[in-house]
Chains A and B, each alone.
Chain A
């Protein structure tokens, strides 16, 4: 009954450091998504993967890269972290098309 699992749950980085946020789903979903959530801004799409082997930019892709490692896993990488990337990051997945999303529990990232 895991659903969507994100690791780590919390992370503090220094400016310029790099890190990868991990996301895995066990529901055999085709599509996966990365969002960031900032106070008063709602959820903003960073990158998404409609199916294994494809990735596309969302609204706020700058400073991020993604990898759809296989059908289960979709990782988000920050190459050189900046304080503006302090946020809560959510991974989500859905089977495809017009199905609701299942969200992971989020990663709270602070860049100092």
Chain B
């Protein structure tokens, strides 16, 4: 089951903030976040493992609320280099014998303009 991301697209001016949300219909134990620039492969940003955990990567941070089965990605003081499509990924299942296959959301397209 794919997680649901919102919004589908965001346009920002340089220096503005944005929030991207990711929610799941089933219990979550972890959430991955990736960024993909046009014509390139997705690049891993961060993983959140515990309920309520927040992590940061430069001026990009994220929170994870396992009770609400959702995660949010925060982009602060956006830079031109933040443009791209952001994906969240949630585990296919929690059976350790089945690896750690992720289901990805459909993505949020972020465009930062000068």
**Contact residues of A with B, CB < 8 Å?**
31, 33, 35, 40-45, 48-51, 54, 56, 58-59, 90, 94, 96-106
Residues on A with beta carbons closer than 8 Å to the beta carbon of B46: 100
B98 near A50: Cβ-Cβ < 8 Å: yes
List B contacts of A58 (CB < 8 A).
Answer: 92, 101
Would you call B43 an interface residue if the criterion is a C-beta within 8 Å of the partner chain's C-beta atoms?
yes
Task: Assess whether B49 is in contact with A41, with CB atoms less than 8 Å apart.
Answer: no
Q: Please state if A56 and B104 are interface contacts (CB–CB under 8 Å).
A: no
CB of A48 to closest CB in B, whole Å: 4
Q: Is the CB of B49 within 8 A of A98?
A: yes
Chain B residues, CB < 8 A from A96: 99-100
Interface pair A98/B41, CB less than 8 Å apart: no
Q: How far is the CA of A45 from the CA of B104 in the complex (A)?
A: 8
Q: Which residues of B contact A104 (CB under 8 A)?
A: 41
Given contacts A98-B30, A98-B49, contact A45 B101 (CB under 8 A): yes
The size class of the interface chain B forms with chain A is: 20 to 34
Query: For A49, what are the chain B residues with a Cβ–Cβ distance below 8 Å?
Result: 99
28 contacting pairs across A/B (C-beta < 8 A): A31-B99, A33-B101, A42-B2, A42-B105, A42-B106, A43-B87, A43-B89, A45-B92, A45-B101, A48-B99, A50-B100, A50-B101, A56-B101, A58-B92, A58-B101, A96-B100, A97-B100, A98-B30, A98-B47, A100-B32, A100-B44, A101-B42, A101-B44, A101-B89, A101-B102, A104-B41, A105-B40, A106-B41
B69-114 with Cβ < 8 A to chain A = 87, 89, 92, 96-107
- Are the C-beta atoms of B104 and A43 separated by less than 8 Å? yes
CA distance A104 to B104 in the complex (A): 16
In the assembly, what is the distance between CA of A102 and CA of B41, in Å?
Answer: 9
- Find chain A residues with CB under 8 A from B44 CB: 100-102
The minimal Cβ–Cβ distance linking B50 to chain A, given in whole angstroms, is 11
Report how far A101 CA is from B43 CA in the complex, Å: 8
